[in-house]
A and B are shown apart, each in its own frame.
Chain A
């Protein structure tokens, strides 16, 4: 018993203060890519190198589908004009599929709140996430379970 208490003192309080403070992310963290308007008409290096086809280069410029992006940085490395850069922004979720598509003209990323007022009023203080495990690589499942660990303690959010 005493050993357990001693260990508890050693391990300390580790729960992060998110969302009151932003989480500390590594300096090389690969987050939301920022797309600037691209005027290189004959270049589609980003679209060609993207392994998942997340990037389309068309008349209106570069369009990036975050629903397909795997944050591999190949586009960032391929663009000689520096028009795509992965930022440190970890907020990439959207309530709509369309909301995952980013272009230079997309509004600056803002954290979305529940758009449905009824749901917001009934369940606004309770977080529910449904994870569908079907045909993935299991990494999402692992990091999802990390949310239950004490550093993140998802249970705090109802």
Chain B
């Protein structure tokens, strides 16, 4: 990989947009195909195709670009480097640029004028015993809409195709021209179960654009507590849901309640269970006095005790393990090829965790350890969650017991003009990437938000191949990807 062909940024980082190398198309393609990184963002701006990668070997972010060809066509990257699959489909949908030779150039959000979500060609199988099962967009439960098209022979799934876009709200357009007083609430709503992680990633984008700002240690500690509480709540919910889907009701019921207790702990700081308003550009939106911190510590320790009782039952039950093990397996090779991120990748043995690979905020001082399991099945994805729960609890206890003293932060006030800024954050699902290009007034001329689910939906599709269709619920829940985070 030729480092001169990339602008190298820290996480978060910003630099003049003019510093992004503009390579010839052949060079651009060659560098991206050979790169030792994970695709983080890919978009058109100011006549250039911009590619952002997160390094797989160190803590850097790489940015490069190529001029958009006159005829707005280029040879697709996906056949040689499958991790660009979804990114090239998005590019085509957003700009009309054609990645020639893309194996599956279909809409991902159905945002074109005449597009109807879900109405498109699907991969189909022919044969007298072959049948097609369509699930969604309206699902059997209060969950987000999305469409799943299975090609089956009897119970066996040969192919799953996932078609999304039902939750498209126009987030990137809403954020263009900002920041204004709407920006933070919109960012918090990109994926409502990851509000604090998104808010943090966005705040660091602003911090990268103003080199004079400094967030106090106290605020960074509160932010990190918010992020880990968010992770804990979601993992508890997921393990309970997995238990429910294999009809193991004790753990399903207990986790349902315990997750609520953790959410209420977040609400102790900021008044709402999803941490809205807790992570702000000024640092933290609420203070955490010693008495409150002590009360939170006490409550959290109790929830961990209750949780371990519930989880021991689950992981000791042979009938549960029989359902989880060797189900929905994604190989490490497939995960690497597809550029899966976060928990789904860690459950295939890949040690990617932005808190440790590209540390930021309090994680620069200390972070929960990266938890991996090698098998790539539902059991591994459940085990990663269990391991991360233990790590996150300990991390929060250490912080609550040793909060740094109160001190003032200097919030970001101004923004570098004509700059590109990139911020990576580890949401509970995996790597969030936010990139912005500012105009000559320092406002967002282009805003790109990439959810971990953007990388991982294809992983779920692969997990179902050769699997029984009755295992779809646990496969889906073991990934638990975001529809709205993907659809923007």
Partner of B142 from A26, A50, A133 at Cβ < 8 Å = A133
CB of B260 closer than 8 Å to a CB of A? yes
Q: Interface digits, A84-101 against B, CB 8 Å rule (1 contact, 0 not)?
A: 000000000000000000
CB of B82 closer than 8 Å to a CB of A? no
CB of A156 closer than 8 Å to a CB of B? no
Known contacts A49-B181, A136-B484; decide if A28 and B269 are in contact (CB<8 Å). Answer: yes
Which applies to chain B's interface (DSSP): helix, strand, loop or mixed?
helix
Q: Interface digits, B167-181 against A, CB 8 Å rule (1 contact, 0 not)?
A: 111000000000001
CB of A72 closer than 8 Å to a CB of B? yes
Q: Please, which residues of chain A bring their CB within 8 A of the CB of B185?
A: 51-52, 70, 72
- A141 to B143 CA separation, bound complex (whole angstroms): 6
- A52 to B186 CA separation, bound complex (whole angstroms): 10
Q: Which residue on B lies nearest to A50, using beta carbons?
A: B181
Stretch of A55-63, A119-127, A144-152 lying at the B interface: A144-152
CB of A128 closer than 8 Å to a CB of B? no
- A25 to B272 CA separation, bound complex (whole angstroms): 10
A74 to chain B, nearest CB (A): 7
CB of A10 closer than 8 Å to a CB of B? yes
Q: Are A150 and B253 in contact (CB under 8 A)?
A: yes
CB of A18 closer than 8 Å to a CB of B? no
Q: Are A74 and B169 in contact (CB under 8 A)?
A: no
Please report the total number of B residues contacting A with Cβ < 8 Å. Answer: 49
Q: Within A109-158, which residues are at the interface with B (CB < 8 Å)?
A: 131, 133-146, 148-151
Number of A-B contacts (CB under 8 A): 121
Partner of B306 from A10, A52, A133 at Cβ < 8 Å = A10
CB of A41 closer than 8 Å to a CB of B? no
Partner of B181 from A8, A27, A51, A150 at Cβ < 8 Å = A51
CB of B393 closer than 8 Å to a CB of A? no
Q: Are A142 and B193 in contact (CB under 8 A)?
A: yes
Q: Interface digits, A28-54 against B, CB 8 Å rule (1 contact, 0 not)?
A: 111000000000000000000111100
B22 to chain A, nearest CB (A): 37
Stretch of B308-316, B325-333, B459-467 lying at the A interface: B308-316
Known contacts A4-B250, A7-B313, A138-B193; decide if A146 and B260 are in contact (CB<8 Å). Answer: yes
B187 to chain A, nearest CB (A): 10
Q: Are B190 and A137 in contact (CB under 8 A)?
A: yes
Q: Are B274 and A149 in contact (CB under 8 A)?
A: no
Known contacts A134-B166, A138-B483; decide if A26 and B264 are in contact (CB<8 Å). Answer: yes
Q: Are A133 and B145 in contact (CB under 8 A)?
A: yes
Partner of B309 from A7, A14, A28 at Cβ < 8 Å = A7
Q: Are A26 and B267 in contact (CB under 8 A)?
A: yes
Q: Please, which residues of chain A bring their CB within 8 A of the CB of B188?
A: 137
A17 to chain B, nearest CB (A): 15
Q: Please, which residues of chain A bring their CB within 8 A of the CB of B192?
A: 136-140, 142
Q: Please, which residues of chain A bring their CB within 8 A of the CB of B193?
A: 138-139, 142
8 contacts between A and B (CB under 8 A): A3-B313, A25-B267, A27-B268, A28-B270, A71-B272, A133-B144, A142-B193, A149-B253
Additional A-B contact list (19), CB under 8 Å, known A135-B167, A149-B259: A3-B316, A10-B306, A50-B181, A51-B184, A52-B182, A72-B276, A72-B277, A73-B271, A138-B144, A138-B482, A139-B189, A139-B195, A140-B192, A145-B141, A145-B142, A146-B256, A146-B259, A149-B260, A150-B256
| Chain B interface residues toward A at CB < 8 A | 141-145, 166-169, 181-182, 184-185, 188-193, 195, 237, 250, 253-254, 256-257, 259-260, 264, 267-274, 276-277, 286, 306, 309-310, 312-313, 316, 482-484
